[in-house]
């Protein structure tokens, strides 16, 4: 048992992979990767840096002497300079050229972008796995009629698969946002203290072309295609806002799904997986609470609440930079990713084991379908010579009586019996029974599902086939 508070996103919810992505170890190893790229590029462009110095830096790129860095930071109160010092202790020959010409944001900001980009890849992997699960579910149940709801009031029929396609559509829109963000994400590059590259121009004796080439080379060595052409001391904090908005969008999609599923579980139509030994309630042993869906809702709400912080930070950066972004982004950015990682893990788990109860779905349909079928019955009887106005009034009166039977007395809907027993309708029970087949009321729902998946979902999944099949890690 721990004696101090631990972030539950780490201890209970998020995966080790995402947690490691935001670890200090990854951050500081990325700093060293950036320092090596800087030294190599500067050497290639003619600065007095030797192969021996670069090799020394390479030797210790993953072997960080944290004890030295920690003690040095206590003394100088500056994390970047503490790690420059610690690296220099290990690399005495290269000590003088580490961080040459750079400002703290060269390693800090570029490392953040690299880490965020890797985190987006983890999110993408899990998002397409959820999409694959929902695709399979939608196709399996695309023909199964179910009662549709508007305002959570009975409406026209849809199908179970069509409803799942609504959840899938939301994720497809999130996927588009991920791809757009991946396409436009860039490194900060080498811009110096106020973004003018003055220190690098000094290093290269006023040679603008070599300064431009230096930034290009570093970008290539780190594995990016582009840098921001214009920055102050930091990369534009609007990037953080864009990233959190993406995470918020995914959370909105998951939230919608989890709320729908919680309602469906209450209706006893569809349930999330429930383990054999799982306890639903400490007091009520019979209960099967939708705890996984509720956890999706809870974590999604948290991510939605985070979205305002980067927006405010981006709005309030003074001139070339101000440091009121640092503490905020240290909290918001990792935790946003960790929460969405947990959300998608649960989403994968739930959609892989959804339980459908066809008899309950059919029972609810048949309790409401008589009302929906009245227009078809009216048209049929008019064609057989009935008086449209008279029959319309009779249907209205009988609908009120049937509604009273259901809502006041708790009995079954007897509207169809009332109609059959009235000779003015001139319709047989066989004819009405044929009209009351639920499949007659779902419109193009099955075709819409098939067309949507073929046109929009299959191309996405085939593009990321190697990512499918991820096992969802749930700790509790």
pLDDT digits (tens, 9 = 90+) for 25-53: 999 999 999 999 999 999 999 999 999 99
As a dihedral over the C-alpha atoms of residue 312, residue 224, residue 33, residue 320, rounded to 10 degrees, the angle is: -30
DSSP code at position 41:
H
Q: Residue 23 corresponds to which tokens in the numbers above?
A: 């670890």
d(CA 82, CA 103): 14
**Which pLDDT does position 285 carry in this prediction?**
46
Q: Residue 355 corresponds to which tokens in the numbers above?
A: 């339980």
Q: What DSSP letter does each residue of 235-254 carry, written as one string?
A: --THHHHHHHHHHHHHHHHH
Q: H helices then E strands: how many in the chain?
A: 21, 4
Q: Residue 241 corresponds to which tokens in the numbers above?
A: 């806002």
List Cα–Cα distances, 134 to 28, 445, 454, 457, in angstroms: 39, 16, 14, 10
Q: What is the mean pLDDT of residues 303-325?
A: 94
Residue 127 has pLDDT above 90, yes or no: yes
CA-nearest of 9, 57, 17 to 37 is 57
Residue 280 has pLDDT above 60, yes or no: no
Among residues 11, 23, 281, 305, which one is catalytic?
A: 281
> Is 300 assigned a catalytic role?
no
Give per-residue pLDDT as tens, 59-109: 999 999 999 999 999 999 999 999 999 999 999 999 999 999 999 999 999
**Which pLDDT does position 149 carry in this prediction?**
95
Among residues 151, 209, 229, 462, which one is catalytic?
A: 151
Higher pLDDT, 425 or 179: 179
User: Rounded to 5 degrees, what are φ and ψ at 34?
Assistant: -70, -40
Give per-residue pLDDT as tens, 413-437: 888 888 888 888 888 888 888 888 9
**Which pLDDT does position 258 carry in this prediction?**
98
**Which pLDDT does position 476 carry in this prediction?**
67
Q: Which domains does the chain have, with CATH numbers?
A: 8-104 (1.10.275.10), 106-139+157-356 (1.20.200.10), 374-435 (1.10.40)
Give per-residue pLDDT as tens, 207-263: 999 999 999 999 999 999 999 999 999 999 999 999 999 999 999 999 999 999 999
Give per-residue pLDDT as tens, 257-279: 999 999 999 999 999 987 655 55
d(CA 327, CA 429): 72
**Which pLDDT does position 427 carry in this prediction?**
85
CA-nearest of 135, 157, 159 to 446 is 159
| CB half-sphere exposure, 51, CA atoms < 13 A | 0
Q: What DSSP letter does each residue of 283-340 carry, written as one string?
A: S-TT----HHHHHHHHHHHHHHHHTHHHHHHHHT--TT--GGGHHHHHHHHHHHHHHH
| 39 CB neighbour count, 10 Å cutoff | 23
**Which pLDDT does position 284 carry in this prediction?**
53
**% residues pLDDT > 90 (the chain):** 79
Give per-residue pLDDT as tens, 395-413: 889 889 988 988 899 888 8
Give per-residue pLDDT as tens, 317-352: 999 999 999 999 999 999 999 999 999 999 999 999
d(CA 155, CA 301): 29
Q: Residue 225 corresponds to which tokens in the numbers above?
A: 């295609």
**Which pLDDT does position 370 carry in this prediction?**
83
> Is 209 assigned a catalytic role?
no
Q: What DSSP letter does each residue of 93-152 carry, written as one string?
A: TTGGGTTTT--HHHHHHHHHHHHHHHHHHHHHHHHHHHHHHHHHHHHHTTT-EEEEEETT
Three-state secondary structure along 352-404? CCCEECHHHHHHHHHHHHHHHCHHHHHHHHHHCCCCHHHHHHHHHHHHHHHHH
**Which pLDDT does position 369 carry in this prediction?**
87
């Amino acid at each position: 048992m721990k004696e101090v508070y631990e972030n539950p996103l780490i201890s209970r919810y998020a995966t080790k992979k995402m947690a490691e992505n935001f670890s200090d170890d990854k951050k500081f190893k990325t700093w060293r990767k950036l320092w090596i790229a800087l030294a190599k590029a500067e050497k290639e462009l003619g600065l007095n840096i030797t192969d021996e110095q670069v090799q020394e830096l390479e030797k210790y790129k993953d072997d960080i002497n944290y004890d030295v860095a920690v003690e040095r930071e206590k003394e100088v109160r500056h994390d970047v300079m503490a790690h420059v010092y610690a690296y220099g202790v290990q690399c005495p020959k290269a000590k003088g050229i580490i961080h040459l010409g750079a400002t703290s944001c060269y390693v800090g900001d570029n490392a953040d972008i690299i880490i965020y980009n890797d985190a987006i890849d983890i999110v993408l992997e899990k998002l397409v796995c959820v999409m694959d699960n929902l695709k399979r579910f939608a196709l399996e149940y695309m023909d199964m009629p179910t009662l549709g709801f508007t305002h959570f009031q009975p409406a026209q029929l849809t199908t179970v698969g069509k409803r799942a396609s609504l959840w899938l559509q939301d994720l497809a829109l999130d996927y588009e946002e991920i791809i757009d963000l991946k396409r436009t994400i860039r490194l900060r590059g080498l811009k110096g203290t106020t973004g003018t590259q003055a220190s690098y121009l000094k290093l290269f004796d006023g040679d603008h072309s070599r300064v431009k080439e230096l930034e290009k080379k570093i970008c290539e060595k780190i594995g990016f295609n582009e840098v921001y052409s214009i920055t102050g001391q930091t990369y534009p904090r609007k990037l953080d806002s864009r990233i959190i908005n993406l995470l918020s969008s995914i959370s909105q999609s998951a939230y919608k799904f989890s709320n729908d599923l919680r309602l469906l579980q209450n209706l006893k139509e569809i349930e999330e997986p429930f383990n054999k030994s799982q306890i639903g309630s400490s007091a009520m042993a019979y209960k099967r609470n939708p705890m996984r869906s509720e956890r999706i809702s809870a974590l999604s709400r948290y991510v939605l609440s985070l979205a305002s912080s980067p927006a405010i930070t981006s709005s309030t950066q003074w001139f070339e930079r101000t440091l009121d972004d640092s503490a905020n982004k240290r909290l918001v950015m990792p935790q946003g990713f960790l929460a969405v990682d947990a959300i998608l893990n649960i989403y994968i788990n739930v959609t892989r084991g959804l339980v459908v109860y066809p008899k309950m779905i059919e029972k609810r349909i048949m309790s409401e379908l008589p009302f929906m079928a009245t227009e078809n019955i009216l048209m049929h009887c008019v064609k057989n010579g009935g008086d449209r106005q008279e029959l319309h009034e009779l249907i209205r009166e009988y609908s009120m009586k049937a509604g009273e039977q259901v809502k006041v007395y708790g009995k079954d809907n007897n509207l169809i019996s009332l109609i059959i027993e009235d000779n003015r309708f001139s319709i047989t029970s066989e004819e009405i029974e044929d009209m009351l087949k639920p499949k007659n009321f779902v419109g193009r729902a099955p075709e819409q599902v098939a067309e949507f998946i073929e046109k929009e979902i299959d191309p996405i999944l085939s593009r990321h086939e190697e990512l499918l099949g991820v096992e969802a890690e749930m700790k509790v």
